[in-house]
């Protein structure tokens, strides 16, 4: 039977599905969190931690999820299920399907503007959290302030009461909360270094354009704790819909796949309160920086490396890529010799075990995490994931050939085809410009490096001017010219 022939999953089905919930002693909470960017990651990570925290310690922390791209089909699919969906956890030991219940409402901007601002004005809402990806921050990479030339930002400055950008929405909502001096805490959960501070800067600089006193109030009163979030959560495919149908006997149009592993480290600054996330495995700390950098550089840095090399070499998924012995040696050496030495982590954090755990997670054969998904938005991902590490290696006078290979692979990836000629789409907010530059270089390493290093949104001037960086990129491109598979073998050694 196809899943669509089954009855639709809704909360009315819960009494029959006791075996698939975390605990049967669930009381529907009121909404206490608005989450911007209701993608798969949030639904397999924070939403589950929050449900568990309510089961462990109570609290009114139901979630209102918001899609910012006008994706009404996502809203409608989830609302037809009253926010209920299954999390399909897949590991080497098998598959586990759990129904997640903390999501109570889904809104789609800009359609649901009034409903969203109603929620954001509700004093019961004490946290606004975000997974909007790097580009959602509308950040000027040179200054760290809001990008005034971003079309969404320009729209919001001209129409501050109907904002569309993340800084515009947060500033408008905080303007409302200022009247009652009752701010919510803003919790960035994206893969950016110092994500809380980065978001605070963007929101304050946006507010300053409209009303300096609002910017001062936000800077003084609103907490923006930083966090490190971790769980590998691929895009949904038909296979999860089939799993949910088989296990539950209901049609779930919006299940989420994920790995068994999860981690969450959070700076404990929540003046308006928070769920008891610490009671269910999240680490609440004073300073998240060492964890954040370790994760960005070790995990996300090697994820992007695997993605670009694989797009050229023709490995479709991360487990297929890391199953190649040369690739595994390359990634192992990159983490051990080039990335780990740039990190200073607490004594209790064993970085080499962390490396080994990452390699094991990448090898998870059940997850089928597609390299093309990770390869998206390279212009936004390369700086926090790879360039900071390279700058640290240059400062320390240490080699960084494998890190340079990763950046060079991204440069070649911009040509839009694999080594065997298979074409793929380059999805990136700067795709048109980057692809024009890459095409004009005609596969000439010197020309490609010269053209792309001028893109200031990606490469800071100081790094771009480093002769060691330029020559490492040229060398790597030369070797990649003989095919990514032989480059992988050469750099693995």
The site for ligand CS2 (CB under 6 A) is made up of 191, 230-232, 299-300, 303, 373-374, 381
Q: For residues 208 and 231, which CB has a smaller minimum distance to ligand CS2 in the complex?
A: 231
Strands of the sheet containing 283-285, edge to edge, are 227-230, 263-267, 283-285
Q: For residues 230 and 278, which CB has a smaller minimum distance to ligand CS2 in the complex?
A: 230
How many Å apart are CA 385 and CA 217, to the nearest integer? 32
How many Å apart are CA 424 and CA 87, to the nearest integer? 30
Q: For residues 6 and 431, which CB has a smaller minimum distance to ligand CS2 in the complex?
A: 431
Q: For residues 162 and 263, which CB has a smaller minimum distance to ligand CS2 in the complex?
A: 263
Exposed, middle or buried: residue 461 (CB in 10 Å: 0-12, 13-18, 19+)? exposed
Q: For residues 112 and 377, which CB has a smaller minimum distance to ligand CS2 in the complex?
A: 377
What pairs with residue 145 in β-bridges? none
Q: For residues 86 and 305, which CB has a smaller minimum distance to ligand CS2 in the complex?
A: 305
Q: For residues 51 and 230, which CB has a smaller minimum distance to ligand CS2 in the complex?
A: 230
In the complex, minimum distance from the CB of residue 84 to ligand CS2, in angstroms, rounded to a whole number: 24
Helix or strand run (H / E) with residue 87: strand 85-91
In the complex, minimum distance from the CB of residue 232 to ligand CS2, in angstroms, rounded to a whole number: 4
Question: What is the separation of C-alpha 111 from the centre of its chain, rounded to a whole number of angstroms?
Answer: 24
How many Å apart are CA 486 and CA 490, to the nearest integer? 6
Strands of the sheet containing 94-100, edge to edge, are 94-100, 85-91, 256-258
In the complex, minimum distance from the CB of residue 437 to ligand CS2, in angstroms, rounded to a whole number: 23
Handedness of CA 165, 295, 85, 22 (dihedral sign): negative
**Residue 32: closest CA among 131, 128, 175:** 128
The answer to whether residues 361 and 261 touch, using CB atoms and an 8 Å cutoff, is: yes
In the complex, minimum distance from the CB of residue 147 to ligand CS2, in angstroms, rounded to a whole number: 21
DSSP state letter for 396: T
Q: For residues 203 and 358, which CB has a smaller minimum distance to ligand CS2 in the complex?
A: 358
Q: CA torsion angle for 281, 135, 175, 104 (degrees, to 10)?
A: -50
How many Å apart are CA 121 and CA 117, to the nearest integer? 6
Strands 256-258, 227-230: pairing is: unpaired
Query: How many C-beta neighbours within 10 Å does residue 165 have?
Result: 25
Query: How many C-beta neighbours within 10 Å does residue 401 have?
Result: 17
**Residue 171: closest CA among 155, 180, 182, 160:** 160
In the complex, minimum distance from the CB of residue 296 to ligand CS2, in angstroms, rounded to a whole number: 8
In the complex, minimum distance from the CB of residue 298 to ligand CS2, in angstroms, rounded to a whole number: 11
Q: For residues 44 and 99, which CB has a smaller minimum distance to ligand CS2 in the complex?
A: 44
Furthest-apart CA pair in the chain: how many Å? 65
Q: For residues 19 and 360, which CB has a smaller minimum distance to ligand CS2 in the complex?
A: 360
DSSP reduced 3-state for 125: coil
The answer to whether residues 444 and 407 touch, using CB atoms and an 8 Å cutoff, is: no
The residue whose two tokens read 């509700």 is 122
In the complex, minimum distance from the CB of residue 87 to ligand CS2, in angstroms, rounded to a whole number: 15
- Name the residue number minimizing CB distance to ligand CS2: 303
Tokens of 310: 């694989």
Q: For residues 214 and 298, which CB has a smaller minimum distance to ligand CS2 in the complex?
A: 298
How many Å apart are CA 155 and CA 135, to the nearest integer? 16
Instruction: Tell me the CA distances in angstroms from 190 to 73, 105, 316, 450, one per residue in order.
Output: 24, 22, 25, 31
In the complex, minimum distance from the CB of residue 14 to ligand CS2, in angstroms, rounded to a whole number: 29
């Amino acid at each position: 039977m196809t899943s669509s022939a089954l009855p639709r999953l809704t909360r009315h089905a819960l009494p029959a599905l006791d075996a698939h919930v975390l605990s049967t002693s669930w009381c529907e909470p009121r909404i206490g969190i608005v989450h911007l960017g209701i993608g798969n990651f949030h639904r397999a990570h924070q939403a589950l931690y929050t449900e568990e925290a309510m089961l462990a310690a109570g609290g009114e922390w139901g979630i209102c999820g918001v899609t910012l791209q006008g994706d009404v089909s996502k809203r409608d699919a989830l609302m037809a299920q009253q926010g209920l969906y299954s999390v399909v956890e897949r590991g080497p030991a098998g598959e586990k399907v759990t129904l997640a219940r903390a999501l109570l409402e889904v809104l789609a901007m800009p359609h649901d503007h009034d409903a969203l601002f109603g929620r954001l004005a509700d004093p019961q809402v004490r946290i606004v959290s975000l997974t909007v990806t790097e580009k959602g921050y509308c950040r000027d990479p040179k200054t760290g302030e809001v990008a005034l030339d971003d079309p969404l930002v320009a729209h919001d400055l001209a129409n501050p009461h109907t904002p569309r950008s993340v800084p515009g929405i947060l500033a408008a909502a905080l303007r409302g909360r200022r009247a009652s001096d009752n701010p919510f805490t803003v919790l960035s959960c994206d893969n950016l270094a110092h994500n809380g501070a980065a978001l605070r800067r963007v929101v304050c600089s946006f507010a300053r354009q409209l009303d300096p006193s609002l910017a001062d109030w936000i800077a003084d009163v609103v907490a923006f704790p930083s966090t490190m979030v971790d769980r590998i959560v691929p895009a949904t495919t038909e296979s999860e819909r089939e799993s949910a149908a088989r296990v539950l006997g209901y049609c779930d149009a919006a299940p989420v796949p994920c790995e068994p592993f999860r981690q969450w480290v959070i700076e404990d600054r929540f003046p308006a309160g928070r769920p008891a996330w610490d009671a269910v495995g999240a680490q609440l700390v004073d300073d998240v920086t060492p964890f954040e950098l370790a994760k960005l550089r070790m995990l996300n840095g090697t994820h992007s490396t695997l993605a670009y090399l694989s797009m050229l070499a023709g490995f479709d998924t991360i487990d297929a890529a890391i199953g190649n012995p040369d690739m595994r040696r390359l990634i192992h050496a990159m983490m051990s010799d080039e990335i780990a030495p740039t990190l200073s982590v607490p004594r209790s954090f064993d970085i080499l075990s962390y490396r080994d755990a990452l390699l094991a997670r990448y090898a998870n054969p059940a997850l089928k995490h597609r390299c093309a998904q990770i390869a998206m938005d390279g212009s936004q991902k390369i700086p926090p994931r790879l360039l900071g590490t390279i700058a640290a290696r240059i400062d320390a006078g240490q080699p960084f050939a494998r890190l340079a290979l990763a950046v060079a692979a991204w440069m070649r990836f911009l040509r839009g085809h694999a080594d065997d000629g298979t074409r793929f789409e380059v999805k990136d907010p700067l795709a048109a410009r980057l692809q024009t530059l890459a095409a004009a270089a005609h596969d000439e390493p010197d020309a490609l490096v010269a053209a792309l290093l001028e893109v200031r949104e990606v490469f800071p001037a100081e790094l771009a001017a480093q002769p060691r960086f330029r020559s490492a990129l040229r060398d790597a491109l030369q070797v990649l010219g003989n095919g990514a598979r032989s480059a992988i073998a050469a750099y693995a050694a």
